Amino acid sequence: MRPPWTPTSWQSRPAAQQPQYDDPGQLDQVVASLSRLPPLVTSWEIEALKQKLAQAAAGDAFLLQGGDCSESFEDCNPETIVGKLKVLLQISLVLVHGSKRPIIRLGRIAGQYAKPRSAATETRGGVTLPCYRGDLVNGSEFTAAGRRPDPQRLLAAYQRSALTLNFIRALSAGGFADLHHPEAWDLRFVGQSSRAQQYHRLLEALGDSIRFLEAITGVKISELERIDFFTSHEGLHLLYEQSQTRTVPHRDGWYNLTAHLPWIGDRTRSLDGAHVEFFRGIRNPIAVKLGPSAQPDEVLELAAVLNPHGEPGRLTLIHRFGQDQIQRCLPPILAAARRADLNVLWSCDPMHGNTLTTADGWKTRRFDHILSELHQAFAIHRDAGTHLGGVHLELTGENVTECTGGAGELAESDLPRAYKSSVDPRLNYEQAMEIAFLIAAEMRPE
Ligand code: PEP
Ligand code: CO
């Protein structure tokens, strides 16, 4: 039995991955300001997302979660935001068409500013400084001033989240008409690849479906549909998450109003740790990442603590084992979950178990590894009698060169050309669209 939950009860437990600030007074002031500022999202949006996730868990919808590994303050600009929204919306349309199910669009956006790191410090040329923990905490530049954790960044991140979300809300209320004209999408990248014909046929079929619907209803789809779009980030920095956790009128319980869905990362999911304690008390739908060290019993205990009443839509489990480990790690967890009759949504992150470093020191991921983990995930769930209801991708709308492979046949020697991520490598626009086509083919109803 745990003592009663409060928004600060996590503070009596070990909190992994928290920065050390040198000015606690300033930190307290910032947290107090954040606690008074308006929320970024509302409880009714959060509850609406939970309902949709419950549908996905039941097999009647599919979750598409995607965005940067880490947003940067510099990328809070219209081009980058439009680019990300566009690629996510286009992927979702391809998936609707393939799966014949509603797609839940959940960005790693408008708050994905904090990163867990494998070491607390970094040494270069004999100089040791604190590691970069994301723009929420410090700067990526390797100087003592840049790496100093600065409490003011919490406010800056809150403001950029609000600016990003404001623009997303405006765009998704109707400003994105060209989304519905697949013939205008830029698929030059498929070029002469062996899959080019298949992609063009899929796009034509998608355009035909839209024109058919418009013809029989007499309404332009773009006028019909207000696009639902939800936000998510890793709930890593617990003082930041706590500062926007509130009760709201006419509802029970506490809501974390920094995002619709915060998740717990693979490095901070310890049962006795502060993150699990904080997350168990909020009413949001939440997710937990599961890497190769996750044991079946541990997963059941996490579900018991985080979703004791088996509330539908409350808990998403995102497995990220890697294409060479999923076959070993996933089946025992699914078997245990079935035995315990867990009501969870299963999602696959084919990115974080497939990160490599090239001989030249570039952190990258191979397109065929990502695809292989996804294919295996669908098959393993089918065999286990469970159901893969979501996918979690790191992607961007820009044509960066961070992951190798895909129809454009990006090689390791291409990586330096446009490598922008200061953390994990992302699929670029072309690679992300190609993954969408391949998942859609996988999900086509029998
Ligand atoms: C991430 O999603 O960027 C991440 C760090 O994932 P994980 O917790 O699965 O390693
Ligand atoms: Co990442």
358-391 pLDDT tens trace:
999 999 999 999 999 999 999 999 999 999 999 9
Residues of the chain with pLDDT under 70: 175-180, 183-184, 190, 192, 222-226, 446
Q: Which atom of ligand 1 is nearest to the CA of 423?
A: 3
Ligand 1 pocket residue status of 352, Cβ below 6 Å: yes
**What stretches of 271-399 adopt beta strand conformation (E)?**
286-290, 315-319, 345-348, 356-357, 363-364, 388-394
**Contact criterion met (CB below 8 Å) for 422 and 72:** yes
- Contacts of residue 42, defined as CB under 8 A and 6 or more positions apart, other chains included, come to 248, 257
What are the residues facing 254 on neighbouring strands? 247, 282
Q: What is the DSSP letter of 38?
A: P
Ligand nearest to the CA of 133: 1
Q: Which atom of ligand 1 is nearest to the CA of 424?
A: 3
Please indicate whether residue 275, judged by its CB atom, sits closer than 6 Å to ligand 1: no
**78 part of a folded domain:** yes
In 44-98 the beta strands, taken as DSSP E runs, fall at 62-67
Within 262-366, residue ranges assigned H as helices are 274-280, 296-306, 326-339
Q: Indicate if ligand 1 lies below 6 Å from the C-beta of 292.
A: no
Instruction: Determine, yes or no, domain membership for 211.
Output: no
Q: What is the pLDDT of residue 407?
A: 85
3-state secondary structure of 23: coil
Indicate if ligand 1 lies below 6 Å from the C-beta of 266. Answer: yes
As given in the structure block, the two tokens for residue 191 are 């070029």
pLDDT tens across 264-290, in order? 999 999 999 999 999 999 999 999 999
Looking at the domain assignment, is residue 222 inside a domain? no
Tokens describing residue 288: 């937990």
Q: Checking phi first, is residue 136 left (phi over 0); if not, alpha (psi -120 to 50) or beta?
A: alpha
In a domain, 31, yes or no: yes
Ligand 1 pocket test, pick from 270, 289, 348 with the greatest ligand atom count within 8 Å of Cβ, gives 289
Atom of ligand 1 nearest to the CA of 392: 2
pLDDT in the model for residue 177: 54
Rounded to two decimals, the pTM is 0.96
Q: How many domains does the chain have?
A: 1
Q: Identify the domain containing residue 264 by its residue range.
A: 25-120+228-443
Domain containing 86 — which CATH number?
3.20.20.70
Query: What whole-number distance in Å separates Cα of residue 115 and Cα of residue 268?
Result: 11
- Which residue among 326, 424, 426, 427 has the greatest number of ligand 1 atoms within 8 angstroms of its CB, and so is best to mutate? 424
For residue 139, being part of any structural domain is answered with no
Ligand 2: centre distance to CA 82 (Å) = 21
Residue 253 is assigned to a structural domain of this protein: yes
Is any ligand 1 atom within 6 A of the Cβ of residue 392? no
| Ligand 1 pocket test, candidate residues 136, 237, 349, 365, most atoms within 8 A of CB | 349
Sequence-ordered list of residues with C-beta below 8 angstroms from that of 150, at least 6 positions apart, any chain: 137, 138
Separation CA 59–CA 106 (nearest Å)? 17
435 phi and psi angles, rounded to 5 deg: -60, -40
Distance from residue 173's CA to the centre of ligand 1 (Å): 30
Q: How many angstroms separate the CA atoms of 117 and 128, rounded?
A: 15
Which pLDDT value is given to residue 126?
96
Q: Write the residue with the smallest CA distance to atom 6 of ligand 1.
A: 265
DSSP state of 395: B
Whether residue 3 lies inside any domain: the answer is no
**pLDDT at site 176:** 67
pLDDT at 141: 95
Q: Is the CB of 75 under 6 A from ligand 1?
A: no
Identify whether 172 is part of a domain. Answer: no
pLDDT at 349: 98
Residue of minimum CA distance from atom 10 in ligand 1: 266
- Closest ligand by atom to 112 CA: 1
